[in-house]
Amino acid sequence: MKKLPIYIIFISFFTFINCVEDISQDFEFKEQVFISGLLTSEEGFVSIQVQKTVPVTDTSFSAINDAQISLFTRDVSNNTSLVSDSFTINNGIYTTSEMITPIIGNTYWIEVLLQDQTVLISEEEILRPPIPITDMVKTEDSIRITFNGPIDVQNFYLIHLEILKDGVIISDELIVSNDRIINEEEEKILVITGMNEGETLRVDISNINFTTFQFYSNVISNQGNEPEVSSLFLPVNLVGNITNTATDELVLGNFGVAGVTPITIDF
């Protein structure tokens, strides 16, 4: 797929490598459950993927279709409620039967009951507000996006880029960044170059929590320099924020919460 030059002015994208522990892929394979999902601030259906890992030499997909999933929330008054426990299942992808309207400032998490009665619970994450876009400047082959990140808190960003040509995706990339080291400037600038006439750029800038930032950092670092959204599920130790309640140990996968700002630009 097409690879674009992408820059964030306030900090290098690859500084996360220094704060994420290196993970060796030299290990004896042991089948494990892997869970992945991302709830955003946009109203819509929430999807969670549940599968088993496979050996690195195996290109098959091992879906789990017999789990039970519950999505919970807690509001600012500390009231807990069930958001949904009704999901349609398609090849390991569990999608809420009804559209969900997330609330900024609430915390969200999932509980997954496996067939063997193992219970897996994700860490409670707060739904942070979407990132305000203050300016966009488009040239013949690039886009400059200016957004604000509050300077009184540490901010973590997940950026999803899609390039389409005639309705077909020709580039699909994930990028993580943060301003933990340099957080003196509220204004941040994202520059994407290398666009061609007739292409469409879709950008999602997500305001995420630190644990989810670490998880996607591991995903990208294990994928090398050309990560793709469709390749999140690798037989490596991608530990996120999900805990086995019986053993109190973290397991593979992550259920994140993100305040998302979507942008679409035609060239």
Q: Which tens digit of pLDDT belongs to each residue from 132-184? A: 888 888 887 788 888 876 666 778 889 888 888 888 888 888 888 887 544 45
Which H or E run includes 126?
strand 125-126
Assigned domain for 41 exists:
yes
Percent of the chain whose pLDDT exceeds 70: 75
How does DSSP classify residue 73? Answer: E
Q: CATH code at 122?
A: 2.60.40
Q: What is the DSSP code (8-state) at residue 10?
A: S
Q: DSSP characters for 166-197?
A: TTEEEEEEEEEEE-SS--S-SEEEEEEE---T
Q: Structurally, how many domains does the chain consist of?
A: 1
In tens digits, what is the pLDDT along the chain, a chain of 267 residues? 555 554 444 433 333 333 444 444 455 656 778 899 999 999 999 999 998 876 555 556 688 999 999 999 999 999 999 999 999 999 999 999 999 999 999 999 999 999 999 999 999 999 999 988 888 888 877 888 888 766 667 788 898 888 888 888 888 888 888 875 444 556 778 888 877 888 888 889 899 999 999 898 888 876 654 444 333 444 455 778 999 999 999 988 999 999 999 988 888
Q: Is 102 contained in some domain?
A: yes
Measured CA to CA, the distance from residue 251 to residue 239 in angstroms comes to: 6
Return the DSSP state at 18.
G
pTM (whole model) above 0.95: no
| 85 in any annotated domain | yes
Q: Is residue 179 situated within a structural domain?
A: no
> Of 143, 133, 135, nearest to 267 (Cα)?
143
44 domain-assigned:
yes
DSSP secondary structure of 92-120: TEEEESS-B---TT-EEEEEEE-TT--EE
Contacts of 48 (CB under 8 A, 6+ apart): 35, 36, 37, 69, 87, 93, 94, 95, 110, 112, 255
Instruction: Identify whether 248 is part of a domain.
Output: yes
Instruction: Give me the domain span that covers residue 72.
Output: 32-128+238-259
Residue 75 lies in a domain: yes
